Structure 1
């Protein structure tokens, strides 16, 4: 039985000491904090990823160095499992424990315990593919990661600067290469060629699409969108904005999907660029979130978020399944979180099954796998569509009995190629939306009119310990602190159509407060009043209580 390469790990670990007085936590988005504090974490993630690969008999594991929609000074890292999915929950805890070992000796002891408890055969090979976004801190962090891979004897493949969804795709493509489940060519170019070919097939014969304005958040999506546009054969003209990836501090600064969704307004840089009626969308910093919007005839901003995308896409797929003659065999369902607008839930519930789960892609993804076709989008624009393996086999074997059924079946087959089924992908989702709009002959106005959003507000409250806030019922109700939920319920009852919930962030010491009501002013007021309750319960300094809470 092989042993851990103790001396190799020890000598390299000593060059990446854990900073004292910092506790790291592997959350929904992996590790995420100031990039300047993550050197030891990246080294240890390299070792962990190597062991994870050995656990899977040498299948390739992915590592992505990114902080997504966070400000440029932040960075992070997450591990991708062999099928391109998020890291298994049990290993999130292992990663947290290993990242917090105070010394190299403690780290080695924790590694030995991990190997024993998870029964890892150290004689197996280890293979890891890794990439980073455009953050300046990424270069040094990748170097620390490579030291970790070297320490454990893993074979590394550097995929360079690319999007998070491309890295997820690469993991699955590498691990399915030359098998019946082959997911595609294991290169970024191969991925974009796959998307471009499927999209062109879907929109063939449709009216030419008007140019789409794309806010690239001054991030890696700018590079990816440029590459993708070259694979579209002119079928969708893209106008790329906010592409300043070399400008210090520009990443996600007053632009990008998170800015648009949170502020519910245009990025200032697009104020003179967008014409009324023109479609536009924003990516986030690592291009795994997508938010659409347009200006109406009066020049008023209209948001088309993840809920609107889910409604558009789910209804289209339901219609295709029916047109293909498969409505009795293929069931389509939608998965949402508590952040989903109440109006979207009502719209969708009248058409197909809707399930609510806790916030976090891993929860949505897992729930979506229980449907034949599972559509999931968080309101923030992160999401995708999953076709179960059995459903994909059914589509491939189905014999249509009419030309209309044949056409619908071909569209469904192309959707399985267009959609990144490993993880939410802003560029893949963008093409999905554009394909549906082309088939429906919708502008943003028709899409927006599927249902009318209830006014809503999201507020962040800084707290000393987010772990003091615990929830139940898919995070829609608080269990602790005690008595706080009862006070929230009392407030909510005062507002027409009122709904509010409180949940701790998965990545930072803040609590997020969501509220909606029939009238905009009441949604705002409810959000700030609930935030005030949270602030008081969390022991905030009354003299620093934000004015909006009063």
Structure 2
């Protein structure tokens, strides 16, 4: 049986074959039973679960199903309404809840949706607990009746609580900063403009009018062109682009150039090193981060640790070793002192604070990283593990690495979800990267 949970919860076409209201009821009820079973011995309190969502239309249907599932298993449910994923994680921790549920498909198109779960403390669930929840979907355990059935209540100031948390984590006023924020008609449409303005910035809100159908529709962090044009048109100091649930962000400098997650991490790493917040002068990134980030950090005396692709692996390394900054090229950035998951609003606030403190432009701050041309080719194969391990492929990779020397790198890995082998090449020039990636991909295709 295919595993239900992916790298970030359950995701699929809402009301389609997989992500149905029936599944939402079953997942929510099973999550309550599993987490209660793992609670400390003698802890007999009624569980409390927080439920948030992004504004896509199917979220209303799935929210009703999730609330039904939670309360049918005996948990009290608190409806948070529309707000970012990191807000749900924060409020689970701040309010001492037992469980958090975020209904969102992040950057996916409107017809999709998803269910993300957070345990007590706002932590993402480990694979073992997700597997246990899956096994309990068809449970015939007795259900509570009468007063044992959970109740539903609202938290009308959920956004205000989250914004207050963000402001407390922002080191200084953003006075003098003019920012355009593209909210992707998503979960940050209210919170982001309010948070940035309350921090002192002059804010121009873009795509902040969700109607349930327009989320991510040619806007947000996966469609940067509208933001790039708006930053230049508004003569702003920078632009911030969020995805549908605002757990990540990308940026645009004053000239309309995109600043990616690697560059944002470099800006924050140097700021935190200077303030003494960067534990062991170490940054945690994935293997996909550009070689330019590694070279820039090495020159600044900062160690870069690498993990597998996926923000959950970054989070695991941060927690295990107590480091204070990590993230992905895609814009998922985690600051464990302030958040238990990637938080695009927190990232943006900290970057703008660095600009305000230093008086330097985003282009100047991000320019510490010279981004090497990077090419990624996905090759469909019959057996990804066998192909990735073949001697012919290894020889092709070794030859490319010899040609590049210290000026680039090659990363070849099987996809985690499909029968694909991913070939990534970084090189001093785009032509060189394209040529080497195409050469290796051809060997992969015939191996």
Q: TM-score, normalised by structure 1?
A: 0.62
Q: Is 1:356 the equivalent of 2:323?
A: no
Q: Give distance in 2, aligned partners of 1:209 and 1:457.
A: 38
2:111 equivalent in structure 1: none
1:306 to 261, 266, 272: 261
2:222 to 225, 237, 258: 258
Going from structure 1 to structure 2, the CA distance change for 1:494 and 1:373 (only over 3 Å counts) comes to: closer
Residue correspondence of structure 1 range 311-322 to structure 2 within 5 A? 311-321=266-276
Q: Give distance in 1, aligned partners of 2:440 and 2:271.
A: 37
2:245 equivalent in structure 1: 286
Q: Which shows bigger deviation, 239-248 or 375-384?
A: 239-248
Going from structure 1 to structure 2, the CA distance change for 1:217 and 1:500 (only over 3 Å counts) comes to: farther
Deviation at 1:434, TM superposition (A): 0.6
2:232 to 236, 255, 274: 274
Residue correspondence of structure 1 range 341-380 to structure 2 within 5 A? 341-350=290-299, 351-371=301-321, 373-380=323-330
Whether contact under 8 Å (1:197, 1:231) holds in the other structure is no
Whether contact under 8 Å (1:277, 1:443) holds in the other structure is no
Q: Is 1:27 the equivalent of 2:6?
A: yes
Q: Give distance in 2, aligned partners of 1:148 and 1:481.
A: 48
Deviation at 1:254, TM superposition (A): 3.1
**Which of these two proteins has the greater Rg computed from alpha carbons?**
1
Q: Secondary structure at the match of 1:347?
A: helix
Q: Deviations over 1:82-132 (max 9, x none)?
A: xxxxxxxxxxxxxxxxxxxxxxxxxxxxxxxxxxxxxx9997643321222
Q: Is 1:428 the equivalent of 2:346?
A: yes
Equivalences, count: 387
Q: Is 1:440 the equivalent of 2:389?
A: no
1:222 to 167, 189, 200: 189
Going from structure 1 to structure 2, the CA distance change for 1:145 and 1:34 (only over 3 Å counts) comes to: same
Deviation at 1:480, TM superposition (A): 4.1
1:521 to 420, 427, 431: 431
Going from structure 1 to structure 2, the CA distance change for 1:470 and 1:374 (only over 3 Å counts) comes to: farther
2:172 to 203, 221, 240: 203
Deviation at 1:331, TM superposition (A): 2.7
Q: Is 1:52 the equivalent of 2:34?
A: yes
Going from structure 1 to structure 2, the CA distance change for 1:356 and 1:139 (only over 3 Å counts) comes to: same
Going from structure 1 to structure 2, the CA distance change for 1:42 and 1:210 (only over 3 Å counts) comes to: same
Residue correspondence of structure 1 range 324-335 to structure 2 within 5 A? 331-335=280-284
Tell me how large the CA RMSD over aligned residues is: 3.4
Q: Which shows bigger deviation, 499-508 or 219-228?
A: 499-508
Deviation at 1:157, TM superposition (A): 1.8
Deviation at 1:270, TM superposition (A): 4.6
Q: Secondary structure at the match of 2:6?
A: coil
Q: TM-score, normalised by structure 2?
A: 0.76
Whether contact under 8 Å (1:258, 1:380) holds in the other structure is no
Q: Give distance in 1, aligned partners of 2:190 and 2:377.
A: 32
Going from structure 1 to structure 2, the CA distance change for 1:486 and 1:228 (only over 3 Å counts) comes to: same
2:393 equivalent in structure 1: 484
Q: Give distance in 2, aligned partners of 1:121 and 1:360.
A: 36
Deviation at 1:345, TM superposition (A): 0.8
Residue correspondence of structure 1 range 11-26 to structure 2 within 5 A? 23-26=2-5
Whether contact under 8 Å (1:251, 1:285) holds in the other structure is yes
Q: Secondary structure at the match of 2:181?
A: strand
Q: Which shows bigger deviation, 123-132 or 358-367?
A: 123-132
Q: Give distance in 2, aligned partners of 1:530 and 1:503.
A: 12
Where structure 1 has 5 or more consecutive residues not aligned to the other structure, the ranges are 1-21, 59-119, 260-265, 388-419, 472-477, 538-550
Whether contact under 8 Å (1:289, 1:382) holds in the other structure is yes
Q: Secondary structure at the match of 2:237?
A: coil
Going from structure 1 to structure 2, the CA distance change for 1:174 and 1:443 (only over 3 Å counts) comes to: same
Runs ≥4 residues deviating over 6 A: 120-124
2:163 equivalent in structure 1: 192
Going from structure 1 to structure 2, the CA distance change for 1:156 and 1:529 (only over 3 Å counts) comes to: farther
Q: Is 1:245 the equivalent of 2:210?
A: yes
